[in-house]
Structures are given as structure tokens and as C-alpha cells.
Amino acid sequence: MIEAVIFDCDGTLVDSERLCFQALVEGLAARGVTVDADALDQQYAGCNLEGVLRELGERHGVELGEAFLASMSAREREIARTELRPIDGVEAVLAGLTLPRCVASNAPLEKMRFSLGHTGLLPHFGEALHSAYCVQAWKPDPTLFLHAARALGVRPEACVVVEDSVVGATAGVSAGMRTLFYNPREKAVPEGCEGFGHMALLLELIKA
């Protein structure tokens, strides 16, 4: 029986992944590197951003250290102020959900608070936000989800994870949690997950 729900943030609750990759593409272009945003999304959605920058920097022979990250983050925040939206249908899900819930994300807490606050979703979670930076373990490592389950006071097997990335879904499965893979773009569904294409389906899936 499901007793609690653990949500990812970027791409699951808010439409922020595309904004992150837009800012990354712009930053790389300023350094003479051309990349495709969709290709970045396919390869890096949900991954630790610092690790992504390290890998891209090595591949393209450019410095993508702290200064680049700060500049990129500022640009992403600038775009988000006008373009960031909740994922379609997620507000109704949160309003109708009666189970305890939290957010567990690879992103820093400050970014989560901004994204959820800006889109009006933060009141559904309060302070129940968990960042990989706090436990120093990033998805696909299951540590963050296990930490979130302990904070909720719920056994891992009684939690359901809602994720949109392969690394996040892999972490959910590895944590021994039922994992629902939000998949509007019809990607390959990771092994051990249940895929669904629209948030309007989520409440019934959680009850199933």
C-alpha cells in the first residue's frame, strides 16, 4: 500500500529542464561551441549539472567552471522569471493528493525553492524539500530517495516516486520504490518503471 509520494522537481513539477538547456546552449555558443538542446536533454536530463559541465568542458576543450556555472544559472533564472510554468496538470494532482509528499531533486535547495515558489507550487510541500547537495549523493544513486523516505517516516517500499528522467527513475527503482515515469515525449521507459504521458493520469496510477 502506498503511504507517501516523492516527486522530482525539474521536468516533473515545473517545466524547467528546457530553460536550463537553453541557458547552457547560449553559454556554450558564447564560447564557440555549438550543441543541440534536444540532444542535451536526451543525454543529460536529470543529471548533476556540475558533472555535465565537467564532461562537456573536457569534450569541447573549454573551461566550464564556477564562473560559467554562475553565469549560466543567472541566465536560467532570468528566463525562468517570464517562462517557467508548472507541468500541465500537476496543480490538480497536488490539490487532489491526500498522501504525504515531498520533493527530492538533484538541484540545489535554493533553485527548488525559487522554481516552486515562482510557479505557486511551494505551499503543497512547505519545507519538505530534499536536495542531493544536502546528502552529497546524486541520482541515479538511490541515497536521496532513501533519505526522503526516512524524513517522511515511511518505508521505501511504501513510497511511490514520480520522475521524468532516466537517472531519477533508475534511482527510484534502486531504492525499492514503485516508480512512475512521466513520459510526454514517449522516450524509452526505464526497466522496472511504469510510464505515463500526462499528469491527469497520475492520481489514478498512485491509487492503483
Q: Which residues are designated catalytic?
A: 8
Residue 166 CA to residue 9 CA, distance in Å, equals 14
H or E element: which one contains 129?
strand 129-131
Residue 19 C-alpha cell reads as 530553460
Largest CA distance in the chain: 53
The strands making up 101-105's β-sheet, listed across from edge to edge, are 129-131, 101-105, 4-7, 159-163, 178-182, 194-196
Residue 66 C-alpha cell reads as 564556477
Cα dihedral across residues 155, 158, 162, 166: positive or negative: positive
Provide the terminal-to-terminal Cα distance of the chain, rounded to the nearest Å.
9
H or E element: which one contains 78?
helix 66-83
Residue 160 CA to residue 178 CA, distance in Å, equals 5
For residue 87, what is the DSSP state?
P
